[in-house]
């Protein structure tokens, strides 16, 4: 090979590979959220809306049960994950199931004596989710979304430790709003794809093409829930730990 050929190969090798733009990195699991919306039947969607509204407006009355359920589900997920890791390449459903049950029971049991700390942790997580939603809604780079989440976690955690009622209202309103939102979007999606002729894809387009849509429809019921619960709590002198 002559010198000119060697120089051409060297120049080609020295060219930088195509860089991935920061703005193109997707962190928000839109496909997973859409899968949850489309996987519900109309009956499941109605049940989700009913349970979500109760959680949204009256979560302060049953927040202890909700905390235990939340941490039990967290323990179940972590247990199954650890079970998969321990199984390695071999699929052992029995080990995963037992690990999930142990994690569920352990986290549910621990959450009872540590109720206040668990509520504050959920309040901090709720704050992080809300600020992450705002970050996503304004179209900021998703790869740096952790920065917005940290701000929300710190703010939500501080407020939760200072005012316990805020933590209760924050995580119950966000949780109830999210469940209600999934149920409503599922019913709307089923209506426009099965009841309308010709079928439309408005819900799909709003979720995938408009970054502001999901944060907006999540924050709105959360704010409504906080305001409603705050009003109801003022008229109740028996609640708390």
What total of structural domains would you count in the chain? 1
- Domain-embedded: residue 26: no
* pLDDT tens-digit profile, the chain (241 residues): 444 443 344 445 444 444 445 445 667 789 999 999 999 999 999 999 999 999 998 888 889 999 999 999 999 999 888 888 876 666 566 778 888 899 999 999 999 999 999 999 999 999 999 999 999 998 888 888 888 899 999 988 888 888 888 889 999 999 999 999 999 999 999 999 988 888 889 999 999 999 999 999 999 999 999 999 988 877 665 555 5
- Domain-embedded: residue 3: no
- Domain-embedded: residue 2: no
- Domain-embedded: residue 5: no
- Domain-embedded: residue 34: no
| Contact in structure between 83 and 27 (CB atoms under 8 Å) | no
> Alpha-carbon distance 151 to 148, whole Å?
5
| Contact in structure between 56 and 172 (CB atoms under 8 Å) | yes
Long-range contacts of 132-138 (CB under 8 A, 24+ apart): 133/214, 133/215, 133/218, 133/219, 134/215, 134/219, 136/28, 136/211, 136/214, 136/215, 137/211, 137/212, 137/214, 137/215, 137/216, 138/211, 138/212
Count CA atoms within 13 Å of residue 75 on its CB side.
19
- Domain-embedded: residue 33: no
> Under the phi-then-psi rule, with left for phi > 0, alpha for psi from -120 to 50, and beta for the rest, what region is 139?
left
pTM: 0.80
- Domain-embedded: residue 239: no
Strand ranges inside 73-172, DSSP E: none
| Contact in structure between 172 and 63 (CB atoms under 8 Å) | yes
Residues near 151 by beta carbon (within 8 Å), at least 6 away in sequence = 131
Domain range for residue 107? 42-231
Residues near 26 by beta carbon (within 8 Å), at least 6 away in sequence = 142
């Amino acid at each position: 090979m002559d010198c000119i050929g060697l120089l051409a190969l060297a120049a080609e090798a020295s060219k930088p590979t195509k860089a991935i733009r920061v703005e193109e990195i997707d962190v928000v699991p839109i496909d997973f959220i859409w899968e949850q919306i489309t996987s519900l039947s109309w009956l499941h969607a109605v049940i989700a809306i009913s349970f979500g509204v109760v959680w949204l407006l009256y979560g302060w009355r049953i927040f202890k049960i909700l905390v235990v359920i939340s941490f039990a589900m967290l323990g179940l997920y972590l247990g199954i994950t650890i079970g998969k890791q321990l199984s390695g390449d071999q699929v052992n459903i029995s080990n995963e199931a037992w690990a999930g049950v142990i994690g569920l029971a352990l986290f549910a049991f621990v959450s009872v004596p540590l109720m206040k700390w668990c509520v504050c942790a959920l309040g901090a997580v709720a704050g992080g989710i809300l600020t992450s939603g705002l970050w996503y809604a304004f179209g900021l780079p998703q790869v740096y979304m952790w920065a917005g989440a940290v701000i929300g976690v710190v703010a939500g955690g501080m407020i939760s430790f200072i005012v316990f009622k805020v933590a209760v209202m924050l995580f119950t309103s966000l949780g109830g709003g999210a469940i209600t939102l999934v149920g409503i979007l599922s019913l709307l999606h089923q209506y426009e794809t099965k009841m309308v002729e010709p079928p439309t894809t408005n819900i799909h387009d709003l979720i995938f093409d408009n970054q502001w849509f999901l944060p907006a429809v999540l924050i709105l019921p959360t704010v409504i829930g906080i305001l409603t619960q705050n009003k109801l709590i003022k008229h109740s002198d028996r609640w708390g730990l």
